[in-house]
Structure 1
């Protein structure tokens, strides 16, 4: 991968820093940010006693609370050649798409490929061919977004890249209620268990932001911000809506608060954890060279600890379903810096490399319990290879 960035990178002793926990650097306190603070685990209460004219500190350890496991470790890595992940069906079964070259490229013609879907069992290694998704035979693409309590799903059926039919489905009964909203974007998320927020988009301007109820009715939400033309970054959860404006400033608002609150500046990407308690934020800084840094914020805009990643490009942030781990990729032209895939463990505050210099070409994919992570990379012979990383429990 070629990057149009300068070769010099600030010194990052990755192995030493990773073993120590967090990584320091990019320590510029920006407008709207608080100074980084390192959090420490609760190891008990402390009291002081007077003995021999001096003070002695007594640590009282609370019983029945085993120490948290520090960091993560890999148990096994599965390899699936020529395939990428479509979705997980269970903790050990997934739907994969296998790409096959039907005709090699020539000087005058492009190569021709075929695509087939399989059900793949990681425990047995068996593949079972499956039919295409219902409706996809007409060129439609169906995407679904499950509510936090799992009782409803917001479903978009895309007839083409500009037109989608939206619906709310009751997962218990299978009943669907169509949502009468025209849109050409799939930007949105569940505000809570009862409402889905959709930034519908428009070919002329920002378009409407809609609050959609479980019965399919909709209500337009007002946002008073003249500094946003479209949503390049957008996330929803726990009653709040997060986005970046034209000046790369992270802001939040709610359906009852039209004027947004500034949370951070110089933001390139954001990723809200599934429990809506943390935001992974990539910031960009230019000081003779451009670099990206990854921080963890709370939902009020306060930095949690020091930075956890740094490089020419920090991308593909993906939270585990239980919000305990964050996977991300780093590319640095200077190979003395961070490169490849890393896992941030929220319990210990440690960042751990996955060993090999993976760089994903498809979205990262966690299994439902967060015990496995799928990473698809380019491969010269097999077009693509998917690695399934099993974490020790």
Structure 2
């Protein structure tokens, strides 16, 4: 039950309406609190202490509130329209897979929520104004707060225009993807260095053919795992587990999700499965491999005839180079331990497969462009000069460099281009 609640929250938390709805509810609650405060005489008190802040004319109060409601609704509609336009442009010009990241932008959602809460506040305040009589005190302070609300909304709208105009720029998108992946990789590299003692134990547990497999009842991507809960369950069961699907792999029904060294009873196995959060979308904050895929897709889309933006493709290769330089410092296995004892083995995308996945689309769609080919070869040359967690990584780099050269030779006809390519090949032959 708890797992279902977590999964449901995970799904709705990234929806475009989640934060606006949440903030709008707070706006309604605040409006009701202000109505209660008015009934307890807050405007009477302010009328005596600071009369300049209190509006006492009924017609003026209603006109102000009606105008504010109309203005806020106009801003709200325009803001939602801008979001839809941005999403459409991002899908057309870059990659549809960017949409979840843009939709889940909490700053934009919060601004939409401010506008929506302002509308509800003004509506409730307007409805709370009673027919005038001699002893009735207008909710003047509430009207003043409504004016403050519209001021905040206008400031938020100005920031929204600035932010959303930046969010659609390809440099901003690439930087955001790069930063998220870099933080994740640096965290994993640090964790690997702190748990080097687990490597030997991992080698001893390399053969898992006699381990017991357990299957998920759901299909989708593994978003995250509640590691602390898993470690507690592992201690209680006196076992070690290996998580089989990689985070970039779609988990199908009937495919095992993990193996356990010790056999687990049905109830315990269900508790283990409850610690996996599975959804139909991928999360870049938990899966750095997705960042490589997105940057590659943006580069390939930029090289399409309809867009023809090689400058963006070159920028993408620069970001890929820096991320790959981080990735080669990490091993091809994620090991999690407790008290210096191995508890969880996690399969991740091997470096050679990751590099192939990145470069295969470039070879297919960009081999005719000597500038892109040269940039990719310089990337491989740079990576070969870096320290690697595994020397096998360098073999993969050399192999992919040779593949790039081989495919480019088939597409290029210009003699100068072929001579440059030959010089690049000689450089790699010497390494």
TM range (shorter): under 0.3
More strand by share: 1
Q: Higher relative contact order by CA 8 Å / sep ≥ 6: 1 or 2?
A: 1
**Normalising to structure 2: TM-score of the pair?**
0.24
**Normalising to structure 1: TM-score of the pair?**
0.26
